[in-house]
Amino acid sequence: MRIIVELKPEADQNLLHVDIQFLMPKTIKYILSKSSISEDFINSWSNFANFNLKFTPKPRIYNDQLIVGDKNILTITISSCSKEFINYFNEGVLQMKTLLIQNRKFQIINVEVLDNPEIDGEQIKLYPMAPMLSGKVVENQKGAFYYKWNQPDFLAELENELKERYKETFKKDIPEEGISIKFDQNYLKYHSDISQLVTVNKRKQRAVWAPLYISGDKELINFAIDTGLGLNRDIGYGMMELRAPKNVVVVDKKPRKPRIDELPDNFGNLVEYQNSLEEDKDSKK
């Protein structure tokens, strides 16, 4: 389930840090505090939710600053496996008319709550709304160890992390069918490098932009759609979307372009016939 909030900056020119998503956890907690939700629920929101930011159109970037004008709409998408969480977030947003982000005031212009599309079959294709980070948290080590996308452990750890988070969230075992995550091989044929350099905890890491095929238990698939994939989801990484299938429009074959002598004149007569009459007149002279 998702809630989409559209914001419009009140000033005609704003400078925001290029990594504005790092500010969103505090913003999400602030919005939730405006609702009747408990404080424990607020502090644990990242266990069962994910978020994504998007400017439309894309703002210009200068010296790690986003130059945002009053025509750059900021869309915040929050997804969660908890309908209760979405309702509380919606309740908090409706208590507000403006939102302060990095000391810049944004006007709330639209709020929409959406259900996920229905899953047909046991395998679906997911598209990233934000880059993915896959890794393993090792004991007695400050940060996680991150894998590159072409290492076998990259996909394996996406699966393991999702399973462990599912068990922790719902306090039950993983469905017997499990989950399997694979890259779209057709996509890889045309993209030799699908990684992007990002900063996590002041260190550069390689995140991944690429569609995935995910198969297995439908409950686990929906959990992946609702809460994202991989590490550092609490700061805006790993959100995925299931796109509705495109409607295929069958277009009739266009008729061939008629020759000039097949076109009708102003009286509906074919030019060819008119030309023949003119030729007859010339022959009688």
Residues 76, 126: Cα–Cα separation, whole Å:
19
The reply to whether 134 and 223 lie within a common domain is yes
**Do 8 and 109 lie in a common domain?**
yes
Asked if residue 271 is part of any domain, the answer here is: no
Question: Which pLDDT belongs to residue 203?
Answer: 87
Tokens of 273: 């016939």
Assess whether 63 and 107 both reside in one domain.
yes
Q: What is the pLDDT of residue 254?
A: 56
Place of tokens 């389930």: 1
Q: What does pTM read for this prediction?
A: 0.81
Domain that holds residue 236: 123-241
Percent of the chain predicted with pLDDT > 70 = 85
Nearest to 234 by CA among 3, 37, 35, 43: 43
Would you state the pLDDT for residue 217? 92
Same-domain pairing of 167 and 204: yes
Given a cut of 70, the residues of the chain with pLDDT beneath it are: 244-285
Number of structural domains found in the chain: 2
Tokens of 116: 């996920």
pLDDT at site 123: 86
State residue 257's pLDDT score: 54
Residue 262: how many CA atoms within 13 Å on its side-chain side? 4
pLDDT tens-digit series, residues 170-187 = 999 999 899 999 999 999
Instruction: Give the CA dihedral 103, 46, 140, 230, nearest 10 degrees.
Output: -100
Dump pLDDT digits (tens) for 29-83: 999 999 988 887 788 888 889 999 999 999 998 888 999 998 999 999 999 999 9
Say what the pLDDT of residue 266 is: 45
C-alpha span between 213 and 127 (Å, rounded): 9
Q: Is residue 18 a part of any domain in this protein? A: yes
Per the domain annotation, does 206 fall within a domain? yes
pLDDT in the model for residue 244? 67
